[in-house]
């Protein structure tokens, strides 16, 4: 029997079958999504060394490019072969990176852990002190007895809750360290892979270009290369600039907090450094837990800390940030806020960091397409021409 594919009912039946089959497949996939994810996780685990390797290579590449520019200014370096010059620069980049990691693990990390463990142990005492403080001021401001009883009862419940969870926090930290130790092999493989990536960087780029021109036509291939360069430029300028900016702010914070003898100086400075990488919300995200930590130790110092953070935020937003980042974003504050919220929703903490450069990339592509279409129609591309007259 020959099927007449041009008949209307046959076409409708085939489309209906495809839609029903796709719906059933989607339902089965979603109902077994957890099992499906476990299967994929088994395959993803084999890619962890390559993921670590790519991340390490991307971070070390910032230092590598700086060393190449620095050594390139030395006359003696111009007399050696290009391959030897690249290997020397790569060796110095990894030695310096390893030295920084050693300094962190040897001096900063143990103090951070000591601060965290000490903070967890002192939390019940802080809560009791807060309860006593509230009871003292209640006598001065003559709070109703029912209010005082209610506050004390809630604080006692909070103290019990925090004490129970505080005991669980140390095992959680130890479990995290154990998991980290178990993944050290993947990290070690990632370091080896990153060395190969950076050592053969030019070759990898050449092979990628060769495949690109072999698969696509010349016009499309040129566009892909231009888009790749734009992506690298946006991400490298933003992430590199934010890392340098955060390190400077963290160092300034550590010096100032040390001078004023702020409690948990190293822990608070570390929080400020890490969260400052997040645009817009970074200073607030870092300040909130830091203020809470310091407040339990000294409410007065917590007040001075807020003033210091406000001054640092103004210094970063008006002086240090613009000097380092320049006009690397090219979008308004509204779109920066939009990108951060959207990135954080879909990708968590990593989304808060990469959300802005990713949005800048997408924004630039959409802007370019729209302007090309406007030019093809003979219309102006400047936004001011479309304002209300």
Domain co-membership, 180 together with 80: yes
Instruction: Flag whether 151 is in a domain.
Output: yes
Residues 6+ apart with CB under 8 A from 238: 325, 328, 329, 356, 357, 360
Last residue of a domain, one of 199, 216, 238: 199
pLDDT of residue 176: 60
**What distance in Å separates the CA atoms of residue 21 and residue 16, rounded to the nearest whole number?**
8
Q: Where are the alpha helices (DSSP H) in 104-200?
A: 109-141, 145-182, 184-199
pLDDT of residue 351: 79
Domain co-membership, 188 together with 54: yes
Angle (CA) 346 352 357, round 5°: 100
Domain co-membership, 32 together with 80: no
Residues 6+ apart with CB under 8 A from 196: 53
Domain co-membership, 39 together with 159: no
Domain co-membership, 193 together with 123: yes
Instruction: Flag whether 238 is in a domain.
Output: no
**What distance in Å separates the CA atoms of residue 355 and residue 278, rounded to the nearest whole number?**
9
Domain co-membership, 123 together with 184: yes
Query: Chunked in runs of 10, what are the mean pLDDT values of the chain (389 residues)?
Result: 55 70 67 60 73 88 88 82 86 91 82 73 69 62 64 66 59 62 77 90 88 88 89 84 87 90 86 83 80 81 88 82 65 77 78 83 85 82 69
Domain co-membership, 136 together with 40: no
Angle (CA) 251 112 53, round 5°: 80
Instruction: Specify burial of residue 135 (Cβ count, 10 A radius: 0-12, 13-18, 19+).
Output: middle
Domain co-membership, 188 together with 59: yes
Instruction: Flag whether 264 is in a domain.
Output: no
Domain co-membership, 51 together with 189: yes
Instruction: Flag whether 341 is in a domain.
Output: no
Last residue of a domain, one of 151, 171, 199: 199
**What distance in Å separates the CA atoms of residue 101 and residue 85, rounded to the nearest whole number?**
24
Domain co-membership, 160 together with 96: yes
**What distance in Å separates the CA atoms of residue 279 and residue 356, rounded to the nearest whole number?**
8
**What distance in Å separates the CA atoms of residue 263 and residue 34, rounded to the nearest whole number?**
44
Instruction: Flag whether 21 is in a domain.
Output: yes
Instruction: Flag whether 109 is in a domain.
Output: yes
Domain co-membership, 40 together with 119: no
Q: Quick one: tokens of 35?
A: 């099992």
Give the structural domain span for 126.
47-199
Instruction: Flag whether 239 is in a domain.
Output: no
pLDDT of residue 105: 82
Q: Quick one: tokens of 263?
A: 């409690």
**What distance in Å separates the CA atoms of residue 89 and residue 261, rounded to the nearest whole number?**
41
pLDDT of residue 85: 86
**What distance in Å separates the CA atoms of residue 253 and residue 265, rounded to the nearest whole number?**
9
Instruction: Flag whether 284 is in a domain.
Output: no
**Sign of the four-CA dihedral 57, 61, 63, 69:** positive
Counting the structural domains of the chain, the total is 2
Domain co-membership, 95 together with 173: yes
Q: Which residue has the tokens 């009871």?
A: 135
**What distance in Å separates the CA atoms of residue 340 and residue 317, rounded to the nearest whole number?**
17
Written as one string, the DSSP assignment of 45-84 is: HTTHHHHHHHHHHHHHHHHHHHHHHHHHTSGGGGGS-HHH
């Amino acid at each position: 029997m020959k099927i007449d594919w041009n008949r209307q009912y046959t076409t409708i039946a085939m489309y209906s079958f495809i839609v029903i089959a796709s719906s059933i497949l989607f339902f089965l996939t979603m109902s077994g999504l957890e099992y499906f994810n476990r299967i994929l996780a088994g395959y993803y685990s084999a890619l962890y060394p390559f993921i670590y390797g790519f991340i390490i290579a991307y971070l070390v590449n910032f230092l590598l490019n700086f060393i190449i520019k620095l050594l390139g200014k030395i006359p003696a370096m111009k007399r050696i072969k290009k391959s030897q010059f690249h290997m020397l620069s790569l060796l110095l980049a990894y030695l310096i990176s390893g030295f920084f990691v050693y300094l962190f693990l040897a001096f900063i990390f143990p103090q951070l852990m000591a601060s965290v463990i000490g903070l967890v142990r002192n939390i019940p005492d802080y809560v009791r002190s807060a309860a006593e403080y509230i009871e003292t001021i209640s006598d001065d401001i003559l709070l109703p007895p029912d209010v005082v009883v209610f506050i004390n009862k809630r604080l006692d419940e909070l103290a019990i809750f925090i004490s129970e969870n505080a005991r669980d926090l140390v095992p959680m930290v130890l479990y995290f360290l154990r998991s980290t130790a178990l993944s050290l092999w993947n990290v070690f493989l990632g370091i080896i892979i990153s060395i190969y990536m950076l050592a053969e960087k030019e070759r990898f780029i050449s092979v990628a270009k060769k495949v690109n021109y072999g698969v696509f036509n010349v016009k499309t291939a040129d566009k892909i290369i231009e888009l790749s360069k734009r992506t690298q430029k946006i991400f490298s300028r933003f992430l590199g600039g934010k890392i340098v900016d955060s390190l400077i702010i963290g160092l300034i914070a550590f010096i100032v907090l040390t001078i004023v003898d702020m409690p948990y100086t190293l822990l608070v400075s570390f929080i400020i450094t890490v969260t400052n990488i997040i645009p817009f919300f970074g200073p607030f995200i870092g300040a909130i837990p830091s203020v809470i930590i310091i407040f339990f130790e000294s409410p007065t110092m917590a007040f001075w800390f807020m003033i210091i953070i406000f001054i640092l935020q103004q210094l970063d937003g008006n002086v240090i940030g613009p000097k380092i980042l320049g006009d690397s974003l090219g979008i308004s504050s509204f779109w920066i806020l939009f990108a951060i919220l959207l990135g954080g929703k879909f990708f968590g903490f990593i989304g808060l960091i990469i959300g802005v450069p990713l949005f800048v990339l997408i924004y630039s592509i959409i802007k370019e397409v729209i302007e090309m279409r406007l030019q093809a129609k003979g219309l102006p591309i400047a936004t001011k021409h479309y304002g209300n007259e």
